[in-house]
Chains A and B, each alone.
Chain A
Amino acid sequence: DAKTTQPNSMESNEEEPVHLPCNHSTISGTDYIHWYRQLPSQGPEYVIHGLTSNVNNRMASLAIAEDRKSSTLILHRATLRDAAVYYCIGTYSGAGSYQLTFGKGTKLSVIP
C-alpha cells in the first residue's frame, strides 16, 4: 500500500467548503486513493475513491493531482455532522490483495 500523509487536524466553519489534503508520494500507477471517515463511536464510513481523474459523489469530491502524488477531499458545505476523522488510503487494485491500511487521519472540527 502507498504510504499517505495527512495533517493531524483541521477546522472549518459550518456551511463553508473544506479541502482536506493528502500526500501519497510513493503511490504506484495501480494504487487507488480511498477516503473514509469515522464519526465518534462509529465504524469507518466510505466517502469516495478514485484512480486518476477527479471524482464526485453525493458526499464529496476527490481531486487527484496530475502526478498522483497528492489528492484533496472536498466537502462542499461542511455541516456539524461532518465532524469526524478522515482517512486517506492508498490501495492495491489487483485481485488477491485487498487491504486498507489506515493511517492516523485528519480530525476535522466544524465550528457552528
Chain B
Amino acid sequence: EAQVTQNPRYLITVTGKKLTVTCSQNMNHEYMSWYRQDPGLGLRQIYYSMNVEVTDKGDVPEGYKVSRKEKRNFPLILESPSPNQTSLYFCASSPLVGGDGNQPQHFGDGTRLSIL
C-alpha cells in the first residue's frame, strides 16, 4: 500500500531534549516536505526537499533541521525543542514530473508533539 509513515505518532518530552521525527515513503517520490499545524494558523511549511541531498527552508524553519540522505526518508530534527514547538506535524511526499511540482501530495497521519 502506498503510504507516508511518520513515527512517533505522539510524543511528550521536555525542553532541550533533542528529538527526531521520522518520515518514510514507499512511492519513490522525489519531493518531500514537513508541515506544522496550529489552531488558528493552519498548516505551515517547515522544510522541503526536491531530491536526495537537496533541502530548502519553508515558511517556518527556525528551530528545525532536516536531512535527505536517502530518497525514501526525510527526518525532522529538533536539536533543542522549546514549548513553542508544541504542535501537530505532518510529512508529505509527491512525485516531480518533468520538474513540475504540481502533483498531488500524499500526507502522513501526523505526529503530535508536546514540549513541556
Q: Which chain A residues have a beta carbon within 8 Å of chain B's beta carbons?
A: 32, 34, 36, 41-46, 49, 87, 91-105
Contact = CB atoms under 8 A, between A and B. Distances in A.
Contact of A102 (B31, B42, B94, B108): B42
A82 B28 CA distance: 29
Contacts of B105: 36, 44, 46, 100
Contacts of A104: 40, 42
B43 interface: yes
Contacts of B35: 102
Contacts of A41: 110
Contact of A32 (B44, B102, B106): B102
Interface of B: 4, 31, 33, 35, 40, 42-45, 48, 50, 58-59, 90, 92, 94, 96, 99-102, 104-110
Contacts of B4: 43
A98 B31 contact: yes
Contacts of A46: 104-106
A100 B45 contact: yes
22 contacts: A34-B102, A36-B105, A42-B110, A43-B90, A44-B43, A44-B90, A44-B92, A45-B107, A46-B106, A49-B104, A91-B101, A91-B102, A93-B102, A98-B50, A98-B94, A98-B96, A98-B101, A99-B59, A100-B105, A101-B45, A102-B42, A104-B42
A102 B43 contact: yes
Given A98-B50, A102-B42, A93 B107 contact: no
A105 B99 CA distance: 28
A107 to B, nearest CB: 12
A51 to B, nearest CB: 8
